[in-house]
Every structure is written in structure tokens, then in C-alpha cells.
Amino acid sequence: MRRPKFPVETIRMALANIREQKFRSFLTVLGIVVGVGTVIVVASLLTGVRSGIVSMIEEYGTNNIYAFHLTTGPQFGERDRSERQRKPLTLEDGEAIERLAPAVEDVAAELMMFMVDADLESRGQSYKQGQLIAVTAAYAGVANLGFDEGRGITDVDDEHRREVMVLGVNVVEALFPQRSRVVGEKVQLAGRTFEVIGVLQKRKSGFFGQNEEDNAILIPFSVGRELAPQNEFLMLLIRARTGRLTEALSQVEEVLRTRRGVRFDKANDFDLSTADKIVQQFDAIMGGIGMVAIAISAVGLLVGGIGVMNIMLVSVTERTREIGIRKAVGAKKGDIVRQFLFEAMTLTFLGGMIGVALAVAVSALLSAIFPSLPAAVPTWAVIAGLAVSTGVGLVFGVWPARKASLLDPIECLRYE
């Protein structure tokens, strides 16, 4: 059985016809160029951002568990009343987890100081964008903090309520722009004088080049309690032993349910997050953005497809005598159908190629202008874009191709 040859001659004819009408062909596939380019640019941005998020989470620790009394992650609308009435977590909860969960290696606590004015002043310089957090001594180890200078908060600092702080790199650059060493410097916060004991090392990864630690102001947990005694925003950072994350997650859940008196038939009145859950939440958000991009792209592809069908119908009319001659010398209906289908598919494939090239150029331009904005063009998006653009030519080229194949050769030869 003879295998069908690749229709090289048919494609050459298609390319020749496209070259004869370059401008018209470009306008025809402009919708396809926009549709394919939009999807690939969005996919490249989302892929790059996701890679940055995953890297950042890995730096914090993939075996960490984050416990909070409210649901974390994206929130749409206000929290319901039952959730707002949940009692906050406490240091005693963390101590119980450390004592009763064998799969847990260490537990730290952070108190987010939203209720305290975090404006800092030192030697005439000020900083108003700091993120003030009160932490326990275990925080540096559990959160995998690195230090460019000095040290972190210790048990002694916490027990003696020492007014000391650890600063992020953005805070240091703003308050001490000309100083190479800042440990020992004095900083004013909430009417008190704090001593700088450490400078955080900038993370390698971040969201658009930034990390929340860059603006961090860390103080001892006990001092944070003094500054905001009614603060309820306490989060527990729990490090599982190596290879025992699932076991630790189950044990932490059991301990907290017992301590908070949650009945066996009721859902948790607290939230537990892991690196995998955070990535899944991010993927859900990015999936929604991707669907919007696909919808925009679909409009462009539909417009492009209609344009292709219209131009192919015009082409059938313009080449009526050519079709008649081909039929007169023995061309079958299938030959005519293939000729016009391949011409439509070649046209949309070239549109897809232009869209891909445009998307790659835009992604590279965005990365050059905004180095902190990751943009990595994924191979799957390129392949999908070319496949979909070619498929559009196939679908919208069927009617013109069939119309051409049904023309009567005698009438075609008479056509003027």
C-alpha cells in the first residue's frame, strides 16, 4: 500500500497565492496574530511569576506549616460572621503543638502589628512603609532567615523585653543611606528608642523583585504585646521534621482541634497552610486570569477565522477559471478541497507564527524594561498557539474549499 506523499506542491501553490496578496493576507490574519500573541504573552508572564512564587516559598521552607485562626489566601467579599468570631491562636497553642506533635521540629510565632504606627526615625531620616512584626526567638530558624549583619531576636531579648529590632534591606537603605554598618544604631518607634541588632539578608526570590521581608521590622514578641495588648493577629510557623510534613500536618490539626474544643462532626475553626496549598491558591488565581486571556484570544481568533473564510470565498470567485482548468485536466473534488484547505491553513499558520514572534518580542521587552517582572515564554504555549491557529484555518476553510470543489468545470471555463 502506497503511503500518501506530503503535499509539498500544494503548499507551494498556497504560499505563492499568499505572496501575491501580501497586504490583504496580513489584514486577514490580524485577528489571529492578536489572539495568539495575547495568550502567549499572558502565559509567559504567569509562568514567570509562578516560578518566582515557587522559588520564594522554597526559600521559606517547603516543610513549614502556617497556622492562623482566619482563613488565609484570596478572599472575595467579607468574611462571614462565624469566621470573624473565631478566637485567635495563642503562644500556649504553639507550646502544646511542640510538646504533643512528635513530627514537629520547632514552632515560632509572629504577631502582625497592624495597630501600631510603624513609622521609624533615626538621625533625621524617616521610613513610613515598614511592616512591623513581633516574633519569638525561633522565628529566624523556622522562616530560614539570613543576616547580612548582626543577629536575630533571642530568648533573652524576649524574656527581658529588650527594645531591640532587626531591619529589612529597604528600611536600612532609607534610614542609613551612607552607613556600611548599622548594628548598634538607635531608632525611634512608637515613642520608644530601639537598638538595631541585625539586618536581614535579601531573599534571592521575590514577587516582582520584592519580598515582604525587605520592609520588615522585627521586634521581640513580648515587646509587641506591650505595644498592642489587644492584637489578635497571631500566626504560628511550624516546622515539620524532614520527610514528615503530612504526619506533622495531621498532628497539628489534632492538637488544635482538641485545644479549641472542635467537635468531631464540625469543620476546623482555624486554617493550616503549607507550601503546596499556597501554590495551589496561586494557580487558582492565575487560572482565572488565564481564562480571561483565552476569552480575549478566542474573540481575536473568531474574527481572524471569519476573515479567512471571507478572503477564501473571494479567492474562489477570483480563481474560478483556474478551478475549471484544473478540473478539465483531471483534478478531482478532493484535490480542489485540499488545495483551498491547505491555503487557508497555511495562511493562519503564518498568522500564528507572526503572533508567536510578536509575543516573544513583547516578553523580552517587558523583561528588559522591568527586570523584576519575570516573563518566560513556555514551549507548550508556542505549540498550542500554532496548533490552534492552524486549526482555525482548517475549520473556516472548509466551506470555501467545498464550494470550490462543487463548481461545474464547463461553467468555470465560461466565467469571465
Residue 281 C-alpha cell reads as 491558591
pLDDT at 168 over 60: yes
DSSP conformational letter for 143: T
Nearest to 143 by CA among 55, 67, 63, 245: 63
280 or 242, higher pLDDT: 242
> Residue 162 pLDDT > 90, yes or no?
yes
Q: What is the pLDDT of residues 221-275, one digit of tens each?
A: 999 888 888 887 899 999 999 888 889 999 999 999 989 888 888 888 888 888 7
Top mean pLDDT of 14-28, 78-92, 234-248, 333-347 is at 234-248
Which contiguous run of DSSP H or E holds residue 186?
strand 186-189
State yes or no: pLDDT of 33 exceeds 50.
Answer: yes
Between strands 216-220 and 131-135, the pairing is parallel
Whether 4 shows a pLDDT value over 60: the answer reads no
Lowest mean pLDDT among 93-102, 252-261, 282-291: 282-291
End-to-end CA distance of the chain: 43
Separation of alpha carbons 7 and 2, rounded Å: 14
Q: Which three cell numbers stand for residue 133?
A: 512584626
Sorted by sequence, the CB contacts under 8 Å of residue 269 that are 6+ apart come out as: 69, 86, 87, 260, 262
How long is the chain?
Answer: 416
pLDDT one-digit tens code per residue, 310-362: 887 877 777 777 777 777 777 777 777 778 888 888 888 888 888 889 888 88
Structural contact between residues 235 and 66, judged by C-beta atoms closer than 8 angstroms: yes
Task: Specify the pLDDT at position 75.
Answer: 58
Give 220's pLDDT tier (boundaries 50, 70, 90).
very high
pLDDT at 56 over 60: yes
* 216 closest CA partner among 173, 176, 180, 171: 171
Which has more pLDDT, 67 or 408? Answer: 67
Q: Report whether 312 contacts 397 (CB < 8 A).
A: yes
Least confidently predicted of 16-20, 73-77, 162-166, 244-248: 73-77
pLDDT at 14: 64
pLDDT for the residue 263: 86
Tell me what pLDDT residue 74 has.
Answer: 59
**Average pLDDT value for the chain:** 81
Q: How many Å apart are CA 55 and CA 204, to the nearest integer?
A: 8
Q: 136-155 pLDDT, tens per residue?
A: 999 988 888 888 899 999 99
In the predicted model, what is the mean pLDDT of residues 187-198? 90
- Tens of pLDDT, residue by residue over 403-412, are 777 766 666 6
Residue 165: which pLDDT band, with cuts at 50, 70 and 90? very high
- Which of 65, 97, 85 is CA-nearest to residue 257? 97
Q: For residue 197, what pLDDT is reported?
A: 93
Please, are residues 198 and 139 in contact by the beta-carbon 8 Å criterion?
Answer: no
Beta-sheet pairing, 192-200 with 164-167? parallel
Q: What is the DSSP string of 33-70?
A: HHHHHHHHHHHHHHHHHHHHHHHHHHHH-TTEEEEESS
The answer to whether residue 371 scores a pLDDT higher than 80 is: no
Q: What is the residue type of 173?
A: E
The predicted structure's pLDDT at residue 135:
92
Does residue 3 carry a pLDDT above 60?
no
Q: How far apart are CA 78 and CA 101, in angstroms?
A: 34
d(CA 334, CA 346): 18
Q: Does residue 65 contact residue 245 with C-beta atoms inside 8 Å?
A: yes
More confident site: 279 or 263: 263
Output Rg (C-alpha) for the chain, integer angstroms: 32
**pTM (predicted TM-score):** 0.70
Please state the rounded mean pLDDT for residues 122-145: 87
pLDDT higher than threshold 90 for residue 45: no
